[in-house]
Chains A and B, each alone.
Chain A
Amino acid sequence: MALNVVVCVKQIPDPADPGALDADFTLKRDVKLILDESDSYGVEMALQLVDTAGGGEVTLVSMAPNGEVSGLRTALAMGAAKGVLVSDDALAGSGARETAKTLAAAIGKAGEYDLVISGVESSDGYTGVLPQMLAAQLGHPMVSFAKSVEVADGKVKVSRQTETGSQDVEAPTPCVVSVTAGVVEPRYPSFKGIMAAKSKPVDTLALGDLGIDGGNVGWAGAGQEITAVEDAPARQAGEIVEDDGEGFQKIVAKLEELKVI
């Protein structure tokens, strides 16, 4: 049985670099972008599911500025077959809802699929609402916070993380599943994979190709406006001491001072 999976991958500025904001207060994104680690789990999960099914392929979908494909290449090197990128200046300033609209339209161009996988939340924007919006746009059932996913007989079975434990959830395909970080071990791209990724197809689309009006996305369509960015009140500098074997006494003294012992 073949299984076709679409994986949403966000390409983000390297979180290891100090973050910076543009003059319009949005995250500076005209730097080299990388595959969001949060999405490497979705890519791995999809590759494993296709493997288990014994056929089918993984298609990536991403929205990013300046025709950026570095993060997509990483996921292609892991084993995804092809990518769809939406890049358009009119998308700048988009919120989660506009991004979901755009990705839904792009998924419509990705061919037949059984399952759409995403991360639970991205590392930079972390609104944690995009996958559910995407499902609502597509009219598909949605299972969020998946820890494990199985596909059989036109259904997905998910063990879903909850605040108090977990749930066993089932939904008919096609559906959208968001996977939590750490549930699978993302593979490192092999040298062969990296070479092969260079010639895998990435379809780059603009809003016009998707029939989306620029006035409904980006700053124009966001329905929210960033008015200011302020420094958070800094914590007062504390006392930092090198342990000379008696460091624990400092902690005891602090706990006594705070009257907790």
Chain B
Amino acid sequence: MALSKVWVFAETDENGSLTTLSKELLTKARDLGDTVEAFYAGDGNDIAESAGAFGATAVHATGPIEGQLLGAPVGAALAAAAEGVDLVLGGTSYDARDAFAVASVKLDKPVISNTTAIDLDGDAVVTTVPVFGGEKLVKTKFTAGGPMLCLVRPKSYEASESGGGAASVSSVDVPGDAPSATVLATHVEEREGPQLDSAPIVVSGGRGLGDPAKFEEYIEALGKKLGAATGATRAIVDAGWVPYNKQVGQTGKVVKPDVYIAAGISGATQHLVGMKGSKNIIAINKDPEAPIFSVADLGIVGDVHKVLPALIEALNAKG
């Protein structure tokens, strides 16, 4: 039995386009609810067409939130507007986490976070949350009625268009009394080349590379050769070798490429949850006991300083 109304907390990227994650959620929402609508912290007209194409019939929009962090005002607006909605899906993005937490307190309803699947069991909504690096799957059921608040990890579902036309747009009130934080400036980091979330091949490096120069010399070089996006573990992001936007894992990006190459990466559970959905995993590590080998389709027990230069040379020789 389907739910009657499902909302998706829609988000846009730095170019103003609906994010892949929002499209994935709209696609799944069509399975779950008779009516699918979007909630958007911005100008609803900007996404009426794209959200409509993925199945939303309406966009409930707050209008642009300027000069303030979104969480408090948007969470309060969501709570006030979501009456009668059975289920609200959001991504595990920064803004959605902030807003859902506030809505949770206002509505006095729980949030289930890090969900990778949502199923209906009769009229109950059952979520799947991976634990222990994805070894076990915990099934959790909402028992407090709607609106049920659920945060879903990227790439849990594949996005597909519904063929729907533009959604209608209506505006929702933003309560003026939310304690707010002022945004003084926004900095966008430049992103060039293939992107982690969409590239068919990802080459990642970890602490086993030894020093930051090797990331450039091996990982970037291999990435260029294969037309791949390059990624990293938190260990080397924290160490300042590469920027945070390259981090793969629990607190970074979730990737599901056709091929994932892990070089000098131990395979900590927090890294594995971000990449174990890859179709093919190739790992290079000098320690035969490294956990990364438990998810590898091909594992080379060896020194990255030997294997990678030889690999790059062989690929160069092939032209």
Contacts and interface: CB of A to CB of B under 8 A. Distances in A.
B141 interface: yes
Given A252-B315, A258-B259, A238 B296 contact: yes
A31 interface: no
A27 to B, nearest CB: 8
A122 to B, nearest CB: 11
29 contacts: A121-B250, A126-B250, A129-B100, A135-B102, A135-B179, A136-B72, A136-B105, A136-B106, A141-B180, A164-B14, A165-B186, A167-B187, A169-B69, A222-B143, A224-B143, A225-B141, A227-B139, A229-B131, A229-B137, A235-B276, A235-B294, A238-B298, A247-B301, A247-B302, A248-B300, A250-B300, A251-B284, A260-B226, A261-B318
Size class of the A contact interface (CB-based, 8 Å): 35 or more
A229 B142 CA distance: 16
Interface of A: 15, 19, 21, 25, 27, 95-97, 100, 120-121, 123, 126-133, 135-137, 139-145, 158, 160-171, 175, 180-182, 222-232, 235-236, 238-243, 245, 247-252, 254-255, 258, 260-261
B251 A120 contact: yes
Given A136-B72, A136-B101, A258-B259, A230 B251 contact: no
The 5 closest A-B pairs by CB, nearest first: A243-B302, A223-B144, A182-B238, A132-B101, A136-B105
Given A163-B93, A222-B110, A240-B296, A252 B314 contact: yes
B18 interface: no
Contacts of B93: 163
B314 A248 contact: yes
Contact of A227 (B140, B144, B301): B140
Q: Which of B141, B270, B297, B300 is most buried by chain A, counting CB atoms within 10 A of its CB?
A: B300
Contacts of B108: 97
B113 interface: yes
Contacts of B189: 164-166
Contacts of B104: 96-97, 129, 133, 136
Contacts of A15: 269
Given A180-B251, A238-B297, A238-B298, 5 more contacts: A126-B113, A129-B111, A132-B71, A232-B135, A239-B299
A180 B175 CA distance: 29
B238 A181 contact: yes
B258 interface: yes
A144 B98 contact: yes
A243 B269 CA distance: 25
Contact of A224 (B72, B141, B179, B302): B141
Contact of A241 (B113, B300, B318): B300
Which label, helix, strand, loop or mixed, suits the secondary structure of the A interface? mixed
Given A133-B104, A136-B101, A240-B296, A127 B137 contact: no
Given A96-B111, A231-B135, A238 B281 contact: yes
Contacts, number: 261
A141 B13 CA distance: 25
A142 B71 contact: yes
Contacts of B1: none
A53 to B, nearest CB: 20
Interface in B291-319: 293-303, 306-308, 310-311, 314-315, 318
A168 B98 contact: no
B141 to A, nearest CB: 5
A133 B179 CA distance: 13
Contacts of A143: 69, 181
Contacts of A130: 101
B75 interface: yes
A126 B71 contact: no
A247 B314 contact: no
Given A136-B75, A232-B130, A240 B282 contact: no
A23 B109 CA distance: 25
Interface string B283-294: 010001000011
Interface string B88-109: 0000111001101110111011
Contacts of A242: 288, 301-302
B213 interface: no
A162 B94 contact: yes
Contacts of A128: 92, 97, 113-114
Contacts of B2: none
A75 to B, nearest CB: 20
A226 B140 contact: yes
Between B111, B186, B281, B310, the greatest number of chain A beta carbons within 10 A of the residue's beta carbon is seen for B111
